[in-house]
Amino acid sequence: MSNTIKIQLRVRPPGANPAMQFDPNEKPLYNIDYNDEVMQLVGANQNYNFKFNHIFDAKSTQEEVYDHLVKPMMGDFLAGFNCCVFCYGQTGSGKTYTQTGGNGSYNDRGLMPRALEQLFQQIELSKDRNFDVYLSYAQILNEGGFDLLSQSGQPVSGQRTHEQLARIQLLESEANVIRVRNLSAFPATSVEEALNVLWNGDMNRLVTATSQNQSSTRSHCIFTINLHSRPNGSEVIRKSKFHFVDLAGSERVSQTGSEGLILSQARYINVSLFHLETVIQALARAQKDPSMHVPYRNSLMTLYLKDSLGGNCKTAMLATVAVEQKNIPESISTCQFAMQVGSISNLATINEEIDPKLLIQKLKQENKLLKEELKLLKEGEGANCQKDLSQEEEEDVKQKVREFLADTQKQTLDVGSWFRLQFAIRYMRQLYNEKQGGPSSPTTAQPLDENELTRLKKILQQRDAEIDILTQMVGGDQPKPQPHQAKHAGPMYDYDNIDTTYESQNGSTRELKFVPESESTPKSRPQSASKQQQTAILDRPVAQNVPDSVPRPPVKEKKLSEAEQYLNILSSAGNICKIDLSKLSLNQLKNEEQVIFAQFQSKYYNAERLNSDKETLQTLYKDAKLQANSIIQLKSQAEKMKTELLQLVQKLGSETEETDFIKEQLQKVNSEYQLKVRALKETQVQLKSVEADLNVNKDKMKKDFIRWYQYAVQYLQNQQPAKIETHKKGAGSIDQEIDDEIQAFYNLKKKAGM
């Protein structure tokens, strides 16, 4: 299926990013023609018109972008097609906000979490296929590749530096298949597990403040969903992948005044984006000249995305632009790049192959049957004699045996095939035992109904397939890594070999790369954000130096005042909440943990997000309860109608117009029942997603509380130089007094000896 890459445009609201100096009185230099989907930009020397497949204006919501951009592709993804969505634009134009989401509320979640929710909704509704989901998250920084989900090494804080992450390498086979070494792929069986993996990767992304964006992601990030599916009992497996690519923003260093590390990062970003543009231009020319060389190898990013840019993939691009006057040149450049991308055609095909395990199992069974047939043809000793005969054949053999026994002159018994002869022998043994008064053996079991036999065979095939899948999941028959593979710190990531477990070089730590641990260890799961943050909290001393900045949530779009508040959070850990430290004392900080934490919760900078999640959760719980009650009522109504229908048929002796009417009503009730059940399942998936989001934000709040507490201790020590005295309480009373939300904090306090 050949299709050009779909290009769409999203306009960031003017003034939404405080770092981009916006004058409300300035004349707008852009216009959008929504009838023809044309973006009109006023340049320094000429005007430009750019036609897109769709344009999202400044008022478009995250849900609208997802429904128009990604939702239509999910059906193709489930059908076995590779898919890719990548965002391109200058820094601060809203790429990361679109892909991962904002910090304002649950409704601000981006394309990635929404795609995971829809994926597991569809898997839940599918009954005729088995699905396996694996998640990967790669970061390309300064032309080096890193695994954002790396489990090697213990972080010293909640966020690893990129030097602590496992490095990935790209290899290309003779068949031009790109393989990624050392990239982990976590299995996910539910939306909660999948979102935890996504958020764990987001925690490790490099974020740096620039003059254009106070929370700029200074690397290219690629989140990949790998999907394996097969019909129940079939050896044909479909393997598809969905790339979500968040490209680092371009930035004109001559105008932004970047220096030092930020300048170095900007140079690498601009070079990699230059190579991306070169590849796009070559692909566009290759549409007319097939001999045109495409320089994928010039950049790690272009080699990684080789299939997505010009191969077996359905790809869509979202260009993001900021329309303030000073950003118009960059917006023009972004739109020109999008026009080149839109001229590229990809040839997407369904990725199907034979599962070698099920195929081997099937061939072994066929081989066994062929051997038995060969023995039968040779009429050798030990040939299969247990084949069932039809009832007519059994009666025919019995009649011939009785005739043979009754006629003493008859010297031979001719019953036909080997199987009929074996049945005749068993029948004569039965007659002999009955005459001798010994135990009688049934000649054969009563033949099963053909439909029942077919049903049982299908069940047997399905159970065999399930056993094979479960065996694969627990790694019971996985080969151990070969000696030459042990030198690698991680696995060879290959979409054709994703079901392989590898062991790290030192052998002391087992890394989860593709499937859970072998049966010698319990089934492991991706470490949740809660556990990672708790480990980080417990390992940090209270009186250490506090960093002068904290991770800043993405800038909110709608309210400039709130966005400015988020900018202030970067200045000091003391800005995490609005508690006036001048009114506190060290004794209060030591002895009134519950009161202090309650104040922190109420004045926490992200309290609005937490409260919004709680309200959304309550609404979803109410909806689920109403849907469940409606389902119960419909089921009861259907049962009553069935009973009424049976009674009416028994009374009248035949079907009438009245019975037909009841049947029609019953069909309507059944259809409504199915719709309600599906809606309830979708609500349950949303519930799990909101719960996971709420848990992650709660864990982040606990971590921020520790940062703020450290800052408060240092502040009060400087203001009140009195030495903090050791304060101890009984463990039993402490456990009863503290709230669950600050358990990690109190463990740290005890560990530090306070």
pLDDT digits (tens, 9 = 90+) for 644-677: 888 887 777 777 888 888 888 888 888 888 888 8
Closest CA to 351 of 227, 450, 253: 227
- Residue 747: pLDDT above 60? no
Residue-range domains of the chain with CATH: 2-354 (3.40.850.10), 541-754 (no CATH)
> Other C-beta atoms within 10 Å of 443: how many?
16
pLDDT (tens digit, 9 = 90+) per residue, 458-508?
666 665 655 555 455 444 444 333 333 333 333 334 434 444 433 333 333
Mean pLDDT of 438-458: 56
pLDDT for residue 715: 79
- The one-letter code for the residue type at 192 is E
Helix axes 607-652, 657-719, angle to 10 degrees: 160
What does the angle CA 32 – CA 246 – CA 698 come to, to the nearest 5 degrees?
A: 105
Residue 332, classed as helix, strand or coil, is helix
Does an H or E element contain 176, and which? none
Q: Which residue numbers belong to the known binding site?
A: 89-96
pLDDT (tens digit, 9 = 90+) per residue, 32-41?
888 889 998 9
pLDDT for residue 29: 83
Q: Pick from 58-67, 338-347, 536-545, 679-688 the range whose average pLDDT is largest.
A: 58-67
Q: Which residue numbers belong to the known binding site for ATP?
A: 89-96
- Of the chain, the percentage scoring pLDDT greater than 90 comes to 14
- Of the chain, the percentage scoring pLDDT greater than 70 comes to 66
Residue identified by tokens 């730590």 is 509
- Residue 279: pLDDT above 70? yes
| Higher-confidence position of 524 and 402 | 402
pLDDT for residue 523: 40
pLDDT for residue 315: 92
| Higher-confidence position of 580 and 257 | 580
Confidence class of residue 220 from pLDDT cuts 50, 70 and 90? confident
DSSP symbols for 673-742: HHHHHHHHHHHHHHHHHHHHHHHHHHHHHHHHHHHHHHHHHHHHHHHS-PPPPP----HHHHHHHS-GGG
pLDDT for residue 676: 84
Closest CA to 102 of 664, 606, 689, 571: 606
pLDDT (tens digit, 9 = 90+) per residue, 323-340?
888 888 889 989 998 998
Task: State the chain's mean pLDDT as an integer.
Answer: 73
Long-range contacts of 56-59 (CB under 8 A, 24+ apart): 56/8, 56/9, 56/10, 56/11, 57/11, 57/32, 58/11, 58/12, 58/13, 58/14, 58/16, 59/13
- Residue 120: pLDDT above 60? yes
pLDDT for residue 408: 79
Q: Name the phi and psi angles at 113, rounded to 5.
A: -65, -35
Confidence class of residue 11 from pLDDT cuts 50, 70 and 90? very high
Q: 307-311, 343-347, 435-439, 604-608 — which is least confidently predicted?
A: 435-439
Confidence class of residue 228 from pLDDT cuts 50, 70 and 90? very high
Q: 368-382, 579-593, 611-625 — which is least confidently predicted?
A: 368-382
pLDDT for residue 734: 36
Tokens of 583: 């009114």
Calculate the alpha carbon distances from 465 to 133, 355, 577 in Å. 17, 11, 55
pLDDT for residue 209: 37
Mean pLDDT of 221-227: 94
Residue 144 class from Cβ within 10 Å (0-12 exposed, 13-18 middle, 19+ buried)? middle
pLDDT for residue 379: 53
**C-beta of residue 99 within 8 angstroms of C-beta of residue 683:** no
Residue 239: CB partners within 8 Å, gap ≥ 6?
80, 226, 227, 228, 351, 353, 495, 496, 498
